[in-house]
Amino acid sequence: MTQPATSYIAPHLVVDDAAAAIDFYVKAFGATEYGRVPGPGGKLIHAALDFNGSMVMLNDDFPEMNDGKSTTPKSLGGTPVTIHLQFADDVDARFQRALDAGATVVMPLEEQFWGDRYGLVRDPFGHQWSLAQTVREVSMEEMTEAMKQET
């Protein structure tokens, strides 16, 4: 049976060692693997994971298919993109789980003026992830005032 076509947006990450990245994302963030497509030399040309009901795709770096240029965050000197994971509960445990799996802290998990408990980690492949849980509702007026005090 053919599935109906749907419209969506999904991040597509480029990594060195996609198989290891899949293992990390399952361990660190509780992702579920949809599947992987092997390519030349044991590299993966495509893989897909489910993160909290949203799909993230990834593949190994193939500089030979990109004018000889690597496009991993490490080869580019970092990433301008942060992938956000919002949780209903247990953000502290989830943040620690990511650290235990090998992520490094970019910004410690702390309560923020906008009402979230929020922190940033970098995965071993150079991608940056924010993790958050809303802990209190904040009005736009309260947020605006708090922003003035932050700067």
Question: Exposure pattern of 63-98 as b/e (b: 16+ CB <10 Å)?
Answer: eeeeeeeeebbeeeeebeeebebebeeebeebbebb
Residue 4 has pLDDT above 90, yes or no: no
Task: Check if the beta carbon of residue 124 is closer than 8 Å to that of residue 101.
Answer: no
Task: Check if the beta carbon of residue 82 is closer than 8 Å to that of residue 68.
Answer: no
pLDDT at residue number 1:
55
Q: Which of the four pLDDT bands, split at 50, 70 and 90, describes residue 32? A: very high
pLDDT at residue number 3:
59
- 12-150 topology per CATH: 2,3-Dihydroxybiphenyl 1,2-Dioxygenase; domain 1 (3.10.180)
Across all residues in the chain, what is the average pLDDT?
94
Task: Check if the beta carbon of residue 79 is closer than 8 Å to that of residue 73.
Answer: yes
Helices H / strands E in the chain, number of each? 4, 8
Task: Check if the beta carbon of residue 108 is closer than 8 Å to that of residue 36.
Answer: no
Q: How far apart are CA 2 and CA 81, in angstroms?
A: 34
pLDDT at residue number 73:
96
- Note the pLDDT tens digit of each residue in 106-121: 999 999 999 999 999 9
- Note the pLDDT tens digit of each residue in 60-114: 999 998 899 999 999 999 999 999 999 999 999 999 999 999 999 999 999 999 9
pLDDT at residue number 147:
84
pTM: 0.89
User: Would you kindly state where each structural domain of the chain is located, as residue ranges?
Assistant: 12-150
Q: Which of the four pLDDT bands, split at 50, 70 and 90, describes residue 8? A: confident
Q: Which of the four pLDDT bands, split at 50, 70 and 90, describes residue 37? A: very high
pLDDT at residue number 2:
60
Beta bridge partners of residue 55, listed in sequence order: 50
Task: Check if the beta carbon of residue 95 is closer than 8 Å to that of residue 108.
Answer: no
Residue 39 CA, chain-centre distance (Å), reads 24
